[in-house]
Amino acid sequence: MAVVKLDSGYNIGIPPEACSFVRRSPPEPVKRPDMVQERDLPELSIVSTGGTIASRIDYRTGSVTSQSDAAAILGAIPELAKVGTFTTRSLYTILSENMTPGIWIELARAVYEEICRGVSGVIVTHGTDTMAYSAAALSFMIDTPVPIVFVGSQRSADRPSSDNAINAVCAAKVATGDLGEVVVVMHATTNDDFCSIHRGTRVRKMHSSRRDAFRSIGIPPLGSIQYPSLEVKLEAGALKRGHCTPALRDHLDDRCGLLTFYPGMPPDTIRVYDGYHGLVIAGTGLGHVSTLLIPELRKLIDSGTLVMMTTQCLRGRVCDRVYDTGRDLLDAGVIEGADMLPETALVKMMWVLGNESSRERAEALLQTNIKGECTGRSAHGL
């Protein structure tokens, strides 16, 4: 069907054969107000990758796609000008499900360059679906003395009720704050009242559509930022600005997989991962798969694949020493993934195998806390 816009603003669909070519309208340049930047405010860099924080209608599919660049974000959210001065870098305009480890590497490099340039903080605009993966990836790849803040929106930017503006303004404020790590800043509640600051290796999207979908898992959020006062409160555990010098370790081994176990899973499912360098399993409860799978896992491990167990409960710690199945898994060579989120564990596996060639050291690294992704003690309950 051809879409016709009537004078009233309504669209209707009519069969293409009912249309005839009249003329092609010249493209009308979209006018944007010039943003006045105050020089005394901290310099922030916006690296945009796409997602609903900057999306518009695509008449090809009739659905929303990421089309706006970072400049469009500034044009749409003038309140940002009160928080900092901005430079923008449009890296990608993709939906986050189309992200790849290769893109994480390019993103890490771009962000690292911005840090080296001396900006006070970096804001990464990102689709929310896989934001947590990218945040974890950058957490491992970059040692950062300044905030690297991931932000997005759950409700598209082209609606008056979008959470994009509040999230973006809060993210910008956090990027100017006394913080030195990779975080995600998104709505904390369904109200437009405050945003939470989540550690990049501990955050997960826990709802498909709500504004407050992002939650810290296993630890409390690192802090909060009120709207509209923009008052930032950081918890004691948050890493301070300047706690390290910038460093980039931008190798990832993308021959790693993530498998969610389910009752009745055929043992040959494991064979799909033949030739993989690493496999993270999201097992049941304390970290289990069915006994039938264990021989296949043993074969996989013996052939050189590192296998790490996490829990599909998301909350809590893997402990494969309680039941027989767990002990058999350990015996087969499976590594316990402590209280790591399965997705974070996958990204960590890619990073560890990308940077460490010794299997023993890689196993040790996987079980060592590097960027707050796992803890030795379970201080936080549900």
Partner 1 sequence: MDYKTAGLTAGIEIHQQLNTREKLFCRCPTTLREVSDHSGSFFRYLRATESEMGEIDRAAQEEMKHTRKFVYYTYDSTCLVENDEEPPAPLNPEALLICLSVGKIFGMTPVPQVHTMRKLVIDGSNTSGFQRTALVAMNGSLPGGGCIETICLEEEAAQRVKDEIFSLDRLGIPLIEITTAPCMHTPEEVQQVAEYIGMVLRSTGCVKRGIGTIRQDVNISIARGARVEIKGVQELELIAEVVRREVIRQKNLLSIGSELVKIGASVNSGDSRDVTILFSGTKSSVLKKANHIHALLLKGFAGIVGREIQAGRRLGSELSDYAKKCGVGGIFHTDELPAYGVTQEEVDAVRNAMEASPGDCVVLVAGSTEKQARCALSQVIARAGIALSGSPVPEETRKMIEGGSSAYMRPLPGAARMYPETDVVPVLIDIALWESIPLPELLKEKAARYAATYGIEPAYATQLVSSEKLPLFDRAIAEGIKPKLAAFTILSTVTELRRDGAEIGLVADCDYLGIWHAVEDGLAAKEAIPDLLRAAASGVCLDEALARLVPPVSVDKLHTIVREIIASRKDFVQQKGKAALGPLMGLVMAEVRGSVDGKIVSGILKKEIDAVLSRKVH
Are 120 and 84 spatial neighbours (Cβ–Cβ below 8 Å)? Answer: yes
The secondary structure element, H or E, covering residue 121 is: strand 121-125
Tell me the sheet residues that pair with 199. Answer: 183
Task: Find, among 205, 240, 217, the residue nearest to 317 by Cα.
Answer: 217
Give the active site residue among 128, 144, 305, 344. Answer: 128
Minimal distance, residue 19 CB to partner 1, in Å: 11
- CA separation (Å) from 219 to 95, 231, 237, 315? 28, 22, 10, 10
Residues within the interface to partner 1 (CB under 8 A): 1, 3, 5-15, 18, 28, 30-32, 56-57, 62-64, 76, 155-162, 165-166, 189-193, 208-211, 228
Angle, vertex CA 42, rays to CA 68 and CA 152, nearest 5: 35
Choice between 32 and 321, CB closer to partner 1: 32
Give the active site residue among 143, 163, 205, 253. Answer: 205
Choice between 50 and 101, CB closer to partner 1: 50
Helix, coil or strand: residue 194: strand
Minimal distance, residue 381 CB to partner 1, in Å: 25
Helix, coil or strand: residue 259: strand
Minimal distance, residue 64 CB to partner 1, in Å: 5
Give the active site residue among 65, 88, 129, 299. Answer: 129
Task: Find, among 85, 77, 63, 83, the residue nearest to 125 by Cα.
Answer: 77
The secondary structure element, H or E, covering residue 183 is: strand 182-187
Minimal distance, residue 94 CB to partner 1, in Å: 17
Active-site residue flag, 205: yes
- Other CB atoms within a 10 A radius of the CB of residue 8 amount to 6
Question: In angstroms, rounded to a whole number, what is the distance separating the alpha carbons of residues 32 and 75?
Answer: 6
Are 308 and 315 spatial neighbours (Cβ–Cβ below 8 Å)? Answer: no
Active-site residue flag, 129: yes
Helix, coil or strand: residue 243: coil
Choice between 210 and 251, CB closer to partner 1: 210
User: Which phi and psi (to 5°) does residue 198 adopt?
Assistant: -110, 145
Choice between 20 and 161, CB closer to partner 1: 161
Minimal distance, residue 55 CB to partner 1, in Å: 9
Minimal distance, residue 188 CB to partner 1, in Å: 12
Choice between 78 and 242, CB closer to partner 1: 78
The secondary structure element, H or E, covering residue 281 is: strand 278-283
Question: In angstroms, rounded to a whole number, what is the distance separating the alpha carbons of residues 99 and 205?
Answer: 16
Choice between 62 and 242, CB closer to partner 1: 62
User: Which amino acids are annotated catalytic?
Assistant: 52, 128-129, 205
